[in-house]
């Protein structure tokens, strides 16, 4: 038995038993690789990823379900997105079967680190980098793919209490026709300064607007954005600079097909927040988290008296119940380990 305080898991890295590692040359296919002990790795200071940020990652979760099984949630969607991200970054395109097979191997070998049912999940982080040494700006000649895992609890320190977010027009997350729609590591480094400044002001996260007109809401730094308004769920449409979240897609399907709520993927303006009954954000890490306050240019709007609304709660519980095999997995989203 591993010695972990399951009752107090946060979103931190706990060392586990093993991780997956594979390498691939430029213009080659991902086909080899295997498990190695969890630990530090060695890289040249001239590695492409360290200088020019050629890297992409994924976030997947495994759950120990009410039936006692260990399952992966929608790993095929993560595999497809990794293929999309790698292609855009000139990394050898990740083969989806290779990706799923590698994720499965790591979870099997670290099965003891999957938290007990209802006490969190095993967060799986596949990440790929250009690792050959080079100084000219060009794609690396060699790539490394690694997967590490860590047991996690809630992403935000305040758990599932409503978040207080700040809309920024001082910073953009992603440019039109840029790389906002892939899971590039650089997108997250661009969000660190706005996030740090927002936290100093007492906010939990930042909401970014579209870079062209600064009128339409795009996403939260670590999650996608939703409102519930006039009996409909609305989320920004995937315009090209928004990440197509796996949980975002799951929420749209759950709302439409299980809860019978209509969903619109559309433009959401700042003023729409003032007319919303509920506001929430979604992601693999955050799951479904209520937003209780949104501040723009010093003016704060409080949503649903700063409590989690009934629709947000229902959606959150439905997603978690599917992940935990408490209700039927009608879309075959779970893959048993
Ligand atoms: C996830 O939700 O898994 C993500 O990748 C967001 C992250 C930056 C924590």
CATH number assigned to the domain covering 6-152: 3.30.470.10
Q: Which CATH architecture has domain 163-323?
A: Alpha-Beta Barrel (3.20)
Q: Is 188 in the pocket of ligand 1 (CB under 6 A)?
A: yes
Distance CA 77, CA 319 (A): 16
H or E element at residue 293: strand 287-296
Q: Select from 74, 192, 222 the residue to mutate for testing ligand 1; criterion: most ligand atoms less than 8 Å from CB.
A: 222
Query: Catalytic: 183?
Result: yes
Which residue's C-alpha comes closest to atom 5 of ligand 1? 59
Index of the ligand 1 atom closest to the CA of residue 123: 3
Which ranges of 69-221 does DSSP label H, i.e. alpha helix?
75-88, 96-109, 185-190, 192-200
CA of 47 to the centre of ligand 1 (A): 24
SS (H, E, C) 124-161: EEEEEEECCECCCCCCCCEEEEEEEEEEECCCCCCCCC
Which residue's C-alpha comes closest to atom 6 of ligand 1? 222
Q: Is 290 in the pocket of ligand 1 (CB under 6 A)?
A: no
CA of 136 to the centre of ligand 1 (A): 30
Index of the ligand 1 atom closest to the CA of residue 245: 2
The residue from 183, 200, 299, 305 that is catalytic is 183
Q: Is 222 in the pocket of ligand 1 (CB under 6 A)?
A: yes
Domain boundaries along the sequence of the chain = 6-152, 163-323
Q: Is 283 in the pocket of ligand 1 (CB under 6 A)?
A: yes
Distance CA 139, CA 134 (A): 9
Buried b (16+ CB within 10 A) or exposed e, 263-288: beeeebebebbeebebbbbbbbbbbb
Index of the ligand 1 atom closest to the CA of residue 58: 5
CB count within 10 Å of CB 133 equals 15
The two tokens of residue 136 are 């000219």
Distance CA 1, CA 3 (A): 6
* Residue indicated by tokens 């050629």: 54
Tens place of pLDDT for every residue, the chain, 337 residues? 799 999 999 999 999 999 999 999 999 999 999 999 999 999 999 999 999 999 999 999 999 999 999 999 999 999 999 999 999 999 999 999 999 999 999 999 999 999 999 999 999 999 999 999 999 999 999 999 999 999 999 999 999 999 999 999 999 999 999 999 999 999 999 999 999 999 999 999 999 999 999 999 999 999 999 999 999 999 999 989 999 999 999 999 999 999 999 999 999 999 999 999 999 999 999 999 999 999 999 999 999 999 999 999 999 999 999 999 999 999 999 999 9
């Amino acid at each position: 038995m591993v010695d972990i305080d399951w009752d107090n898991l946060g979103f931190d890295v706990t060392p586990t038993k093993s991780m997956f590692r594979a390498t691939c040359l430029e213009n080659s296919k991902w086909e080899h690789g295997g498990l190695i002990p969890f630990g530090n790795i060695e890289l040249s200071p001239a590695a492409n990823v360290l200088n020019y940020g050629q890297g992409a990652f994924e976030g997947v979760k495994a759950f120990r379900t009410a039936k006692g099984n260990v399952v992966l949630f929608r790993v095929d969607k993560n595999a497809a997105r990794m293929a999309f991200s790698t292609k855009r970054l000139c990394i050898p395109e990740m083969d989806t079967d290779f990706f799923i097979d590698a994720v499965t191997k790591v979870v099997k070998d670290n099965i003891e680190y999957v938290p007990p049912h209802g006490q969190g999940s095993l967060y799986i982080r596949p990440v790929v980098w250009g690792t050959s040494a080079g100084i000219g700006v060009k794609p690396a000649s060699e790539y490394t793919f690694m997967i590490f895992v860590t047991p996690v609890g809630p992403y935000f320190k305040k758990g599932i209490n409503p978040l207080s977010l700040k809309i920024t027009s001082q910073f953009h997350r992603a440019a039109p026709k840029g790389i906002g729609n892939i899971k590039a590591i650089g997108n997250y480094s661009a969000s660190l300064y706005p996030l740090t400044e927002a936290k100093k002001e007492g906010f939990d996260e930042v909401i970014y607007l579209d870079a062209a007109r600064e009128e339409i809401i795009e996403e939260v730094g670590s999650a996608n954005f939703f409102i519930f308004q006039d009996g409909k769920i609305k989320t920004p449409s995937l315009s090209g600079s928004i990440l197509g979240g796996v949980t975002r897609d799951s929420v749209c399907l759950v709302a439409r097909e299980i809860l019978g709520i209509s969903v619109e993927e559309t433009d959401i303006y700042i003023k729409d927040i003032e007319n919303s009954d509920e506001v929430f954000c979604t992601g693999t890490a955050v799951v479904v988290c209520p937003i209780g306050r949104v501040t723009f240019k010093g003016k704060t709007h409080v949503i649903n008296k700063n409590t989690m609304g009934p629709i947000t709660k229902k959606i959150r519980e439905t997603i978690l119940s599917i992940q935990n095999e408490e209700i039927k997995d009608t879309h075959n989203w779970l893959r048993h380990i």
